[in-house]
């Protein structure tokens, strides 16, 4: 225990840093990702348990929220807070839970018969398959509104709460995720261009990653320059994540992904592999991850986890 508190000079990536949390920071990336994802799941369980909600609706909320999602956006929020402040604080914990709720809502509604009409999500029957369509609509509605309720009630400083609510509303709303979904629907069966694709994917996916980074940074008290850099980083890895998702839809199996593979081509969706081809899509995802890593330069070695995250998101297999 004592040795752990001593200061060490260690090499992490290409940077030499003074590190007094040697044991924690030397843990392998996947272990840290898993540990933080479990932390988010425990927070969601606690927040859900404290809600007075109809028992069937609560079961549907638990079914969708506690299912094995990767928790990428919420962990990103935690790591951005940790990067700028040195720790994960209470406000970052609540911000992470809120973004995970909004993300899960989008999946529940996207799977509905009127949208993608899907049967499988996170390796289990979709919410409407398990609970019926009406309950699934209400589950999505409840997740979306609960996210804003916890931000309003649980964040310990009103200026921070307002900042977090504004970021999340903008990213998830009609100038963000909803705009992306609308453009995506309209692009079905059309010949998309790269420019058109970038607009769809930036709105549908990348803005939520940007938002996660911004919420973590705000919770950690980032200065304007730190906030701007982390927003840029989030937007770039979000776009790279979506390109990787398009590629996995072509190359992956439903079992591996926990959702129906090959759906994009079937629905004649406008995707990166369809418009650019597979090799160019892989190259673009890698270029975006490299650009994201570059943006982190002024943070030094403290941002190594975020660097590894950028690379992991384009190399992922699920």
Applying CB under 6 A, among 44, 69, 147, 233 the residue interacting with ligand GRG is 69
Cβ 181 to ligand GRG shortest distance, Å: 4
Q: Tell me if 115 contacts ligand GRG by CB under 6 A.
A: yes
Q: Tell me if 91 contacts ligand GRG by CB under 6 A.
A: no
What are 8's strand-pairing partners? 19
Stretch that binds ligand GRG, among 27-35, 173-181, 185-193, 211-219 (CB under 6 A): 173-181
Q: Tell me if 72 contacts ligand GRG by CB under 6 A.
A: yes
Angstrom distance (rounded) from CA 11 to CA 172? 39
C-beta separation of 287 from 310 below 8 A = no
Cβ 101 to ligand GRG shortest distance, Å: 11
Applying CB under 6 A, among 36, 122, 128, 229 the residue interacting with ligand GRG is 122
Angstrom distance (rounded) from CA 277 to CA 246? 11
Please, where are the H alpha helices in 252-316? 254-257, 263-266, 272-276, 278-295, 304-315
Question: Segment 202-241, which members bind ligand GRG (CB under 6 A)?
Answer: 204-205
Query: Could you tell me the two tokens for 293?
Result: 């890593």
Helix axes 224-251, 278-295, angle to 10 degrees: 160
Q: Tell me if 110 contacts ligand GRG by CB under 6 A.
A: yes
Q: Tell me if 109 contacts ligand GRG by CB under 6 A.
A: yes
Which residue matches tokens 């040795």? 3
Stretch that binds ligand GRG, among 10-18, 85-93, 100-108, 268-276 (CB under 6 A): 100-108
C-beta separation of 58 from 45 below 8 A = no
> Would you tell me which residues interact with ligand GRG (CB under 6 A)?
69-70, 72, 103, 106-107, 109-110, 115, 122, 177-178, 180-181, 204-205, 242, 245
């Amino acid at each position: 225990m004592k040795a752990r508190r001593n200061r060490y000079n260690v090499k992490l990536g290409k940077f030499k840093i003074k590190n007094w949390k040697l044991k924690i920071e030397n843990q392998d990336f996947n272990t840290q990702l898993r540990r933080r994802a479990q932390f988010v799941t425990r927070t969601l369980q606690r927040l859900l348990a404290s809600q007075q909600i109809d028992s069937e609706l609560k079961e549907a909320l638990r079914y969708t929220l506690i299912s094995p999602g990767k928790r990428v956006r919420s962990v990103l929020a935690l790591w951005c807070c940790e990067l700028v402040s040195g720790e994960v604080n209470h406000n970052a914990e609540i911000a992470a839970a809120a973004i995970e709720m909004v993300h899960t809502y989008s999946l529940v509604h996207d799977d509905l018969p009127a949208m993608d009409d899907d049967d499988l999500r996170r390796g289990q029957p979709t919410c409407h398959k398990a609970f019926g369509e009406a309950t699934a609509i209400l589950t999505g509605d409840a997740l979306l509104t609960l996210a804003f309720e916890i931000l309003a009630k649980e964040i310990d400083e009103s200026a921070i709460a307002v900042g977090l609510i504004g970021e999340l509303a903008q990213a998830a709303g009609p100038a963000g995720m909803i705009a992306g979904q609308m453009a995506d629907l309209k692009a079905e069966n059309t010949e998309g261009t790269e420019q058109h694709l970038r607009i769809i994917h930036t709105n549908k996916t990348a803005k939520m990653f940007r938002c996660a980074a911004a919420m973590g940074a705000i919770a950690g008290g980032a200065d304007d320059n730190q906030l701007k850099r982390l927003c840029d980083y989030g937007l770039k890895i979000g776009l790279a994540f979506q390109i990787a998702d398009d590629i996995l839809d072509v190359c992956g199996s439903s079992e591996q992904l926990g959702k129906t593979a090959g759906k994009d081509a079937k629905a004649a969706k406008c995707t990166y592999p369809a418009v650019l081809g597979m090799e160019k899509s892989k190259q673009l995802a890698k270029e975006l991850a490299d650009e994201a890593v570059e943006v982190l330069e002024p943070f030094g070695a403290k941002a190594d986890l975020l660097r590894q995250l950028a690379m992991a998101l384009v190399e992922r297999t699920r």
